[in-house]
Structure 1
Amino acid sequence: MKPLVLICSQDPEFYLVHSHILEVDGFTIQLAGGVEEALALASEREPKAVVLDCQPISATGSTICARLKGEPRTGGLPVIALIAPGAENQHLDLLKAGIDESFVRPFAPAKLLDCLRTKLALPKPGSNGIENGSWLCCGSLEMKRDAHRVRGNGHDIHLGPIEFNLLRHLLENPGKVFSRKELIGAAWPENIHIGARTVDVHISRIRKALKAASPGSVIRTVRSAGYLLAEPDD
């Protein structure tokens, strides 16, 4: 599932340009025209971030930001302001409203994309089985090894230590088949005897967790060989 970003603007050209930029980079976009519509959509659709169009003659940007930050369900949403030339005096109001980031137009679109991916801890497009900063990524599945944190489609996945070690080994080598013996060596201490059936039980638990949070991530059984983590579009 692509991350949903809410764009708050009454300017059709602004919306078309920025929605195209974000959609090409893998986001889903929803338009909100005014304050009440923005609040309703933020509550109903549960976007991952909000982008505000701040025009020189409008103060709705800071109003929307303040209202979002003041609501329990939306207070944690990253809110980014795109400030038009001539509207620089809105900086102070936006800061008071709790804005997370702001850019004065014109600016390089990559700055907005990098900001969103940093705020949402998303991997760069096309990263498969490689590290993006401190995250190990394969499609929508992400793992921060030093923090023992796993995410699927932006949602946390809670795994026990053994499941985490097994998934880490598969994530480090997407598309590669590992025998049960190899997985035992990767996930369990050397002085503990583990049978093949035990590996199957833990893989089943991982599959269940991935199915709930990251349906596109699949651990496949290779008959008489073992398991592999399927790469995206595999």
Structure 2
Amino acid sequence: MSPLGGAWRWLTTGANWTGGEGVVHRLAEHLYFSGVSLAVALVVALPPAVLLGHHGRGGALAVNVSNVGRAVPTFAVLTLLLLLIGSDSDWPVIVALVLFAVPPLVTNAYVGMREADPDVVEAARGMGMTGRQLLLGVELPLAFPLIWTGVRSAAVQVIATATLAAMAGFGGLGRIITAGFNRQVNAQVVAGAVLVAALALLVEGLFLAVQHALDPIRRRSAPAAPARTPSAPAATGAARP
């Protein structure tokens, strides 16, 4: 049987979805690690990046520092955190994933704020808008597509990278892959990889749908439905002289 055929057979076997080692439990662990890490990264990265982009100061340094996380292997960071914190809590995995999610969030938020249409910003400033009004009412809506692209990129990367948690003894869908390697069951390895890829694609599509629904510029520019006017009644006979 081919690897894909074996993976399909493994995925369609109900026993592989239940229990402590089943897909449902491992998926819940994977979503927990990914969701908590992304939420922490959003709180840590977005506010300072938006403010730096608004003021135009220190952004280059912040982007360069945050991009250090791209150069450091996530598994190496996870191993170091395990030595420093220990494996008694989930923080080694969460901190490693947060460090991995921060660079796209900081870069896209800062660049999005700096690339807001300067003519629109100057016009709003000329209308007497305060700095707070300018930030919330003009710059953030203009920067939203690029900021959300960074959020979407970070979410997908975290989903994919959370698989490495299994190599350090933690849960998640990666445990399905490592268990397949340990048992030398190629079908299980391929099935685990398919599950991670499918989850990443699902998250990508979900975040695209949210962006389409929440984009303030698109919502403002959407044409309003034309009002209906009552039609004139048709003539039923010739006019009398």
TM-score higher than 0.5? no
Q: Considering Cα pairs closer than 8 Å and 6+ residues apart, tell me whether 1 or 2 has the greater RCO.
A: 2
Q: How high is the TM-score relative to the length of structure 2?
A: 0.24
By percentage of residues, which structure has more helix?
Answer: 2
Question: What TM-score comes out, normalization by structure 1 length?
Answer: 0.24
